[in-house]
């Protein structure tokens, strides 16, 4: 072991588990690419004010969880705690909204950083794949994103998740509700910090996980009773479209999320096998965010799916992904001459697009065959001096154990034939 350890709240992705992470990212990406989303990549850090303004000055993410730093040049930066504000900033900076048809549809995949209390499923460095549809107010877009996330989880083989759906209203109806909720909260027996939160951001009190708080919230006014007609009609259309697509969801009138920018459609994917950190993904509409960060009015909607928790959910359900073996052919060379020739064969196979590996480190037959087994390769290519004298190598099927001699210049064809 080295003197150093991965920092608290972080962990390393190592084989074979790391292959599952890649497969999760890839499966989610396949769904969004297939729906016209283009890949975007933004820096790992941004001007701290982008998040303060975008995510919200009073949110936990901004007040407690951001990794901030001052550069030697005096810039105030933050490691990105989430993706939406950065992606919108990038789209605005590149004028994507002026260049073609709206919505601009983008997807991303990367690392995010929050100084959270570390526990199972909650890390200080984690990984998300996200999708954003910028610049259009259309319930079909909200529905599209929910359907795509559902499709991604289904494609991975997950079943024990639920989709929670709510509408947070807009700048017409939310202020009215906010006040009604505030009046209600002021009458409760809450600790000082929660009362303060009720004054700054009362909706987030609804999200308080403590049982004694939840008990008092049973009769809290609900946003759905305050939605304006436009928000009601919009939400109804989203519900109809996802229902027609066969996506099952639950209305959750108390669903709010930890970021201030959400309006109207809000949703969360929760997995029942994960304990307290049950949200595997979430998102919603953020019609006001562009203006909050200095852009024009650009109603938008998006989600971010947590890769770490999706992997935990797969493990909780016992889902084994059908991962292709990393190596198809493993070459075992006995003696110097065989090393030279088989190393050349491995290069030839790789150039032909066949995944091949080699027994490095000058091991004997036993150790090399162990390597071949461990690699999961379908075929082993074995050669010693006697084989080479005859101008052949042995091609062994690792499943059946069958072995046959193949002429040196016929290796590629034989391998192709056996791998189908």
**Positions at the binding site for L-histidine:** 82-84, 114, 128, 132, 257, 261-262
Shortest Cβ 253–ligand AMP spacing (Å): 19
302 binds ligand AMP per the rule CB under 6 A: no
Among 270, 229, 264, smallest CA distance to 250 is for: 270
Q: Let me know: does 130 contact 108? Beta carbons within 8 Å.
A: yes
Region 237-276 residues binding ligand AMP, contact defined as CB under 6 A: 257-258
**Residue 395, phi then psi, degrees to nearest 5:** -110, 115
**Alpha carbons 61 and 316: distance in angstroms, whole number:** 28
**Alpha carbons 402 and 116: distance in angstroms, whole number:** 55
Shortest Cβ 77–ligand AMP spacing (Å): 19
CB closer to ligand AMP, 124 vs 378: 124
Out of 47, 67, 122, 252, the only residue in the binding site for ligand AMP (CB under 6 A) is 122
Among 230, 221, 215, 188, smallest CA distance to 203 is for: 221
Contacts of 186 (CB under 8 A, 6+ apart): 195, 198
203 binds ligand AMP per the rule CB under 6 A: no
Site track 153-172 with ligand AMP (rule: CB under 6 A), x = hit? --------------------
Q: Which residue has the tokens 């959750």?
A: 252
CB closer to ligand AMP, 110 vs 202: 110
For the annotated binding site, the residues are 82-84, 114, 128, 132, 257, 261-262
Residue 283, beta-bridge partner list: 267, 303
Region 333-352 residues binding ligand AMP, contact defined as CB under 6 A: none
Residue 244, beta-bridge partner list: none
Out of 282, 288, 299, 302, the only residue in the binding site for ligand AMP (CB under 6 A) is 282
DSSP string, 11-28: ----TTHHHHHHHHHHHH
Among 253, 260, 319, smallest CA distance to 84 is for: 260
Shortest Cβ 269–ligand AMP spacing (Å): 7
Shortest Cβ 33–ligand AMP spacing (Å): 20
What distances in angstroms separate CA 223 from CA 218, 252, 264, 301, 400, one per listed residue? 14, 11, 10, 20, 64
CB closer to ligand AMP, 153 vs 234: 153
Out of 82, 170, 357, 387, the only residue in the binding site for ligand AMP (CB under 6 A) is 82
**Residue 358, phi then psi, degrees to nearest 5:** -135, 145
114 binds ligand AMP per the rule CB under 6 A: yes
60 binds ligand AMP per the rule CB under 6 A: no
306 binds ligand AMP per the rule CB under 6 A: yes
Out of 116, 138, 207, 317, the only residue in the binding site for ligand AMP (CB under 6 A) is 116
Tell me the number of residues near ligand AMP by CB under 6 A: 17
Binding site for ligand AMP (CB under 6 A): 82, 114, 116, 122-123, 126, 128, 257-258, 279-282, 304, 306, 308-309
């Amino acid at each position: 072991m080295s003197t150093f350890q991965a920092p608290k709240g972080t962990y390393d992705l190592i084989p074979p588990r790391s292959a599952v992470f890649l497969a999760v990212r890839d499966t989610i990406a396949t769904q969004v690419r297939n729906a016209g989303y283009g890949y975007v990549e933004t820096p790992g850090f941004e001007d701290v004010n982008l998040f303060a303004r975008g995510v919200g000055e009073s949110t936990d993410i901004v007040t407690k969880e951001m990794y901030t730093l001052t550069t030697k040049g005096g810039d105030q930066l933050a490691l990105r705690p989430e993706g939406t504000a950065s992606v919108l900033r990038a789209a605005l900076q590149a004028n994507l909204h002026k260049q073609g048809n709206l919505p601009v549809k983008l997807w991303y995949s990367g690392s995010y950083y929050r100084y959270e209390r570390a526990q199972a499923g909650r890390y200080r460095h984690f990984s998300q794949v996200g999708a954003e549809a910028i610049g259009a107010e259309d319930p079909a877009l909200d529905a599209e994103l929910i359907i795509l996330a559902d499709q991604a989880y289904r494609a991975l083989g997950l079943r024990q998740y639920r989709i929670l759906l709510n509408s947070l209203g807009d700048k017409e109806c939310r202020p009215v509700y906010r006040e009604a909720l505030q009046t209600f909260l002021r009458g409760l027996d809450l600790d000082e910090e929660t009362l303060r939160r009720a004054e700054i951001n009362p909706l987030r009190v609804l999200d308080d996980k403590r049982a004694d708080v939840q008990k008092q919230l049973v009769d809290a006014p609900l946003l759905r009773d305050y939605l304006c007609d436009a928000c009601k009609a919009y939400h109804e259309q989203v519900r109809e479209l996802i229902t027609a697509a066969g996506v099952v969801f639950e209305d959750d009138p108390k669903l709010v999320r930890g970021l201030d920018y959400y309006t109207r459609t809000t949703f969360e994917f929760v997995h029942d096998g994960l304990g307290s950190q049950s949200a595997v993904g979430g998102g919603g509409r953020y019609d006001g965010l562009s203006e909050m960060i200095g852009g024009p009015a650009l109603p938008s909607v998006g989600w971010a799916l947590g890769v770490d928790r999706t992997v935990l959910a797969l493990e909780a359900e016992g889902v084994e992904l059908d991962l292709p073996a990393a190596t198809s052919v493993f070459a075992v060379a006995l003696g110097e001459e065989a090393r030279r020739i088989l190393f050349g064969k491995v290069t030839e196979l790789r150039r032909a697009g066949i995944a091949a590996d080699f027994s490095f480190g000058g091991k004997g037959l036993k150790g090399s065959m162990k390597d071949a087994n461990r690699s999961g390769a379908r075929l082993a290519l074995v050669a010693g001096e006697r084989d080479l004298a005859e101008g052949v190598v042995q091609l062994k099927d690792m499943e059946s154990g069958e072995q046959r001699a193949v002429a040196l210049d016929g290796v590629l064809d034989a391998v192709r034939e056996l791998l189908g």
